[in-house]
């Protein structure tokens, strides 16, 4: 964290302690900052009025007057602390999947202040949220204060075909490996307990004045270190459209890097996990939005076929012969009969995780080479569930997750004996 200004130190001294900290990282969010600020104000003055609260704004040197606008909206209603978080050029150049560029540094800055304030809960929300309501704040904060949860991840109301990377890879993969049934493990808005804030603060790399924190949006260290995790039902998540968004292959690369990276560090943990368990739910349950939507899957199947044709040389290095044979069989299927079986998909994801671990080719290339296979799986999933209702979608999702759990033995075998076990 950058050195605190005299004014901030005085402010901290005046406030003393606060039980609830609502953290809002910002970077040029003048247009949308009002919504999350108003929702926070409403939540803190109604649902959480009995708790002492502070809003912490970590800004990455916005040029559109975001901090000034936030000050105007908040006024004197709730104590507001505004600080700068270090914005490194490399962060500014990359297009983040969610939140502000350099969100790790922003979270680190907010955590450091939450620690100084002795906060019992620190909830961090994106500044570009357009659909946030006061209930969201309450549902994210209450499980930590009342139920002793260490990390609350959100569960947004989404369409059955929305968030397919999450549905098809991240959720079943993390469930199979780490044994926690999290529906949306890569949510952008999270709530942390004081214990967890201390955990991240302890990982601070105190080299000079530029500390780097472990990514607080990565749920794996939380699970692997025995923290209690919960999920809260929120409403539909609408965010302000970004100027620059990563394309599909870059999104896959970023997400899968976060998912595959901890595999080596946590190998002894996940290899012992034999089954999965439910994670506590909070808030009113929301069913998947199953409205019928016409999606053209032909282009996705074409993309899969083009990948089979042109990326065979790369896939040969990553995938074992049995999986390649299955893919070749799928290549010959007409569009109407196209089907990517769960077993093949689960093995494919595991093979890419193993390829990532063994560095069979450059990791960025490896992750981007998954794109046509992912699109093939999406096409198959959409084709199957085009007319399905919410319950059928849930059942289908459960079948997929179970298949990932069943195929985990395959991952463990190939992980332990990469040369001896190659089906």
Partner 1 sequence: MSSQINGVFSQASARIAKSVADFLPGLLAFVLTLAFSALLAFIARRMIRGFLRGIDFDQRLKQWGFSELAEWSPAHSPSLLIAAITYWLIILVGVLIGISALDASLTQVLVLRLFNYVPHVLAAILIVTVGFFLARFFARSVLISAVNMQVQSARLLSLGVKWLVMLLAGAMALEHLGIGGDIVQLSFGILFGGIVLALALAVGLGSKDMVSRSLERQAERSADEEEIAGRFHHL
* Contacting positions for partner 1 (CB under 8 A): 97-98, 159, 161-166, 186, 247-249, 251-252, 255, 293, 295-296, 299, 302-303, 306-307, 310-311, 314, 317, 358-362, 365, 368-369, 371-372
DSSP 8-state symbol, 4: P
Q: What share of the chain is helix, strand, coil (3-state, %, to 5)?
A: 50, 10, 35
Q: 420-423 contacts: CB < 8 A, separation 24 or more?
A: 422/320, 422/321, 423/320, 423/321, 423/322, 423/323
Quote the least distance from Cβ 383 to partner 1, whole Å.
15
DSSP 8-state symbol, 69: H
Show the beta-strand stretches assigned E in 27-147. Answer: 53-59, 80-84, 121-124
| Secondary element (H or E) of residue 21 | strand 20-26
Q: Which is nearer to partner 1, 116 or 413 (CB)?
A: 413
Q: Which is nearer to partner 1, 80 or 263 (CB)?
A: 263
Q: Which is nearer to partner 1, 163 or 235 (CB)?
A: 163
Quote the least distance from Cβ 166 to partner 1, whole Å.
6
Quote the least distance from Cβ 378 to partner 1, whole Å.
8
Q: Which is nearer to partner 1, 139 or 368 (CB)?
A: 368
Q: Which is nearer to partner 1, 58 or 366 (CB)?
A: 366
Quote the least distance from Cβ 162 to partner 1, whole Å.
5
- Cβ(183)–Cβ(232) below 8 Å: no
Quote the least distance from Cβ 413 to partner 1, whole Å.
18
Q: Which is nearer to partner 1, 311 or 333 (CB)?
A: 311
Listed in sequence order, the DSSP H helices in 243-341 are 248-260, 262-265, 267-270, 298-310, 312-318, 321-331
Q: CA-to-CA distance for 9 and 53, rounded, in angstroms?
A: 17
Residue with tokens 């999702």: 397
Q: Which is nearer to partner 1, 359 or 420 (CB)?
A: 359
Quote the least distance from Cβ 81 to partner 1, whole Å.
31
**How many helical (H) and strand (E) elements, i.e. helices and strands, does the chain have?**
21, 10
DSSP 8-state symbol, 132: -
Residue with tokens 């463990």: 412
Quote the least distance from Cβ 245 to partner 1, whole Å.
9
Nearest to 215 by CA among 368, 358, 116, 98: 98
Question: What's the chain's length in residues?
Answer: 423
Quote the least distance from Cβ 305 to partner 1, whole Å.
10
Q: Which is nearer to partner 1, 121 or 165 (CB)?
A: 165
């Amino acid at each position: 964290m950058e050195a605190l200004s005299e004014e901030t130190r005085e402010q901290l001294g005046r406030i003393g302690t606060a039980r609830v900290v609502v953290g809002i990282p910002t970077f040029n969010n003048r247009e949308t900052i009002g919504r999350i600020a108003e929702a926070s104000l409403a939540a803190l003055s109604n649902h959480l009025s009995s708790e002492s609260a502070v809003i912490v704004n970590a800004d990455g040197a916005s040029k559109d007057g975001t901090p000034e606008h936030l000050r105007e909206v908040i006024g004197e209603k709730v104590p507001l602390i505004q600080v700068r978080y270090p914005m490194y050029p490399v962060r500014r150049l990359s297009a983040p999947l969610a939140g502000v560029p350099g969100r790790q540094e922003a979270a680190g800055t907010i955590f450091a202040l939450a620690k100084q304030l002795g906060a019992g809960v620190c909830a961090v929300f994106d500044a570009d949220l357009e659909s946030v309501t006061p209930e969201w704040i309450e549902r994210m904060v209450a499980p930590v204060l009342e139920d002793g949860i260490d990390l609350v991840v959100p569960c947004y109301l989404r369409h059955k075909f929305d968030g397919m990377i999450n549905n098809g890879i991240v959720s079943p993969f993390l469930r199979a490996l780490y044994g926690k049934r999290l529906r949306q493990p890569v949510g952008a808005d999270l709530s942390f307990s004081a214990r967890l804030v201390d955990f991240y603060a302890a990982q601070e790399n105190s080299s000079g004045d530029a500390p780097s924190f472990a990514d607080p949006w990565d749920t794996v260290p939380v699970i692997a270190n025995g923290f209690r995790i919960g999920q809260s039902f929120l409403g539909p998540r609408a965010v302000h459209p970004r100027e620059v968004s990563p394309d599909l292959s870059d999104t896959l690369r970023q997400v899968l890097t976060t998912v595959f990276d901890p595999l080596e560090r946590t190998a002894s943990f996940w290899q012992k996990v034999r089954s999965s368990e439910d994670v506590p739910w909070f808030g009113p349950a929301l069913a998947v939005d199953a409205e019928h939507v016409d999606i053209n899957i032909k282009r996705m199947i074409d993309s899969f076929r083009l990948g089979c044709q042109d990326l065979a040389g790369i896939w040969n290095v990553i995938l074992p012969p049995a999986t390649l044979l299955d893919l070749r069989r799928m290549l010959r299927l007409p569009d109407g009969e196209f089907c990517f079986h769960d077993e093949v998909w689960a093995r494919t994801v595991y093979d890419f995780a193993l390829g990532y671990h063994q560095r069979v080719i450059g990791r960025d290339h490896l992750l981007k080479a998954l794109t046509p296979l992912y699109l093939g799986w999406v096409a198959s999933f959409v084709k199957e569930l085009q007319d399905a209702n919410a319950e059928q979608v849930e059942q289908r999702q459960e079948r997929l997750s179970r298949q990932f759990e069943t195929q985990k033995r395959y991952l463990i075998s190939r992980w332990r004996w990469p040369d001896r076990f190659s089906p």
